């Protein structure tokens, strides 16, 4: 670790070639693939949270747009084609340096199937969502807030921060909405 | 470059310690600091585009939320305090692997001044914006679309992709809006 010229903080600098390896937050993009009143979920075949359900998504790669990440990950995890729509949720997961984006999406057909990282893929109505088996809190919140907006008939971008407190307890702090559920 | 175990593409892997240095898109966050019908701009003291005007913003760092980046950069570049509001624009700048986020913001007082990376800071009404001296196309688009929404009296998140074509010509492709201006 050293402070490169013109910078104000320590960075990872290669001792041999002086390349600065910046450690910046990474972007994770997920889709909310909708078919009528149903949402497509994937049961995870890989760690973390193997066996639990999630929305299709993953790390944004170089040379792609955020909406392209959502579409690519939905193909990879659920072998499914979507039309990506509006951004619905933005989470700052501060303790793991991630920005997670959730896009609304239309499922284009019903030819979905588990990809290599999924055990199972299935459509769920609101009453059928396996709330106790959702892999990640940000996914559970997104699903709850999404159904709340379906009921209202209009959609609004949700933003929230997720961090750990001094006792390693997870804090969920909505930025621009009142959390409808717990 | 090699393909780490369990991955599907080449990554930068350290030949000595096998650390994988993922190269993922970086997040840039900017503020649109508003005081009544005026917007705070900064004239750049540094490359690129030294001498031209921009909105305060910069790279998101680890251990912060996107809205905190907007507030921190506004302090650093314009010595100004803001209340960060809703997300107004998301640009995928594909050829440089950046996701740029622009947040609406309220300027909390008029005690602004150029920080070390700015030559000048000033408030501009729509008719006063130096359109020919704006540093970055994404900033010009954001300002134009922002004033279009002010005129309408309601705000909607804008998304667009920016990329280079085969002839290195810059392509601007709105995702969810009709570009009001050129």
Digit-coded pLDDT (tens) for A114-125: 999 999 999 999
Which of B69, B55, B81, B73 has its CA nearest to residue B116? Answer: B73
B121, pLDDT greater than 80: yes
What pLDDT score was predicted for residue B71?
A: 98
Chain B partners within 8 Å of A25 (Cβ): 27, 60-62
B22, B64, B92 ranked by CB distance to A94: nearest = B64
Q: Structure pTM?
A: 0.92
- Decide if B70 contacts B30 (C-beta within 8 A): yes
Contacts of A92 by beta carbon, 8 Å cutoff, 6+ apart:
A98, A99, A159, A160, A161, A162, B64, B65, B66, B67, B68
From residue B95, give the alpha-carbon distance in Å to each of B26, B91, B176. Answer: 12, 12, 20
Planar angle of CA A46, A48, A51, nearest 5 degrees: 60
A157 CB near a chain B CB, below 8 Å?
yes
Query: In the beta sheet, which residues pair with residue A113?
Result: none
Which of B157, B153, B181 has its CA nearest to residue B32? Answer: B157
* C-beta atoms of A27 and B25 within 8 A: yes
What pLDDT score was predicted for residue A182?
A: 53
The pLDDT-based confidence of B181 (bands split at 50, 70, 90) is low
Which of B95, B100, B90, B97 has its CA nearest to residue B58? Answer: B100
A162 CB near a chain B CB, below 8 Å?
no
A181, pLDDT greater than 70: no
Number of domains in chain A: 1
A180, pLDDT greater than 90: no
Element (H, E) at B141: helix B137-152
Residue B15 counted as domain residue = no
What percentage of chain B's residues is helix, strand, coil (to nearest 5)? 20, 40, 40
Which CATH number does the domain housing residue B69 bear?
Answer: 3.90.79.10
Which of A43, A36, A47, A30 has its CA nearest to residue A130? Answer: A43
Residue B181 counted as domain residue = no
What pLDDT score was predicted for residue A12?
A: 72
B182, pLDDT greater than 60: no
Residue A94 counted as domain residue = yes
Structural domain of A153: 25-174
Name the region of A97 (left: φ>0; alpha: ψ -120 to 50; beta: rest): left
* C-beta atoms of A87 and B63 within 8 A: no
What pLDDT score was predicted for residue B6?
A: 66
Chain A partners within 8 Å of B86 (Cβ): 157, 176
* Mean pLDDT, residues A96-120: 98
Residue A20 counted as domain residue = no
Local structure of A58: helix, strand or coil: strand
* Mean pLDDT, residues A148-165: 96
* Percentage, residues of chain A above pLDDT 90: 85
B180, pLDDT greater than 70: no
- Decide if A172 contacts A141 (C-beta within 8 A): yes
* Mean pLDDT, residues B5-24: 73
* Mean pLDDT, residues B73-85: 98
- Decide if B60 contacts B136 (C-beta within 8 A): no
Reported ipTM: the value is: 0.91
Residue B182 counted as domain residue = no
Residue B17: count other Cβ atoms within 10 Å of its Cβ: 6
What pLDDT score was predicted for residue B86?
A: 98
Residue B96 counted as domain residue = yes
Residue A133 counted as domain residue = yes
B20, pLDDT greater than 80: no
Structure tokens at A145: 């807030």
* C-beta atoms of A66 and B97 within 8 A: no
* Percentage, residues of chain A above pLDDT 70: 95
Residue A1 counted as domain residue = no
Q: What mean pLDDT, rounded, does chain B reach?
A: 93
Query: In the beta sheet, which residues pair with residue A53?
Result: A43, A134
């Amino acid at each position: 670790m050293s402070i490169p010229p013109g910078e104000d903080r320590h960075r990872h600098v290669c001792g041999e070639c002086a390349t600065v390896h910046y450690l910046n937050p990474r972007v994770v993009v997920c889709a909310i693939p909708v078919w009528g009143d149903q949402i497509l979920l994937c049961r995870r075949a890989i760690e973390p949270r193997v066996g639990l359900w999630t929305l299709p998504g993953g790390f944004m790669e170089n040379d792609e747009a955020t909406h392209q990440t959502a579409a690519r990950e939905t193909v990879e995890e659920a072998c499914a084609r979507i039309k990506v729509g509006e951004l619905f949720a933005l989470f700052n997961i501060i303790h793991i340096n991630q920005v997670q984006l959730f896009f609304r999406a239309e499922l284009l057909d019903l030819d979905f199937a588990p990809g290599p990282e999924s055990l199972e893929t299935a459509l769920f109505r609101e009453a059928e969502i396996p709330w106790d088996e959702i892999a990640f809190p940000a996914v559970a919140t997104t699903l709850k807030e999404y159904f709340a907006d379906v009921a209202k008939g209009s959609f609004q971008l949700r933003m929230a921060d997720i961090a750990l407190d001094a006792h390693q307890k997870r804090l969920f702090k909505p930025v621009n909405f009142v959390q409808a559920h717990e």
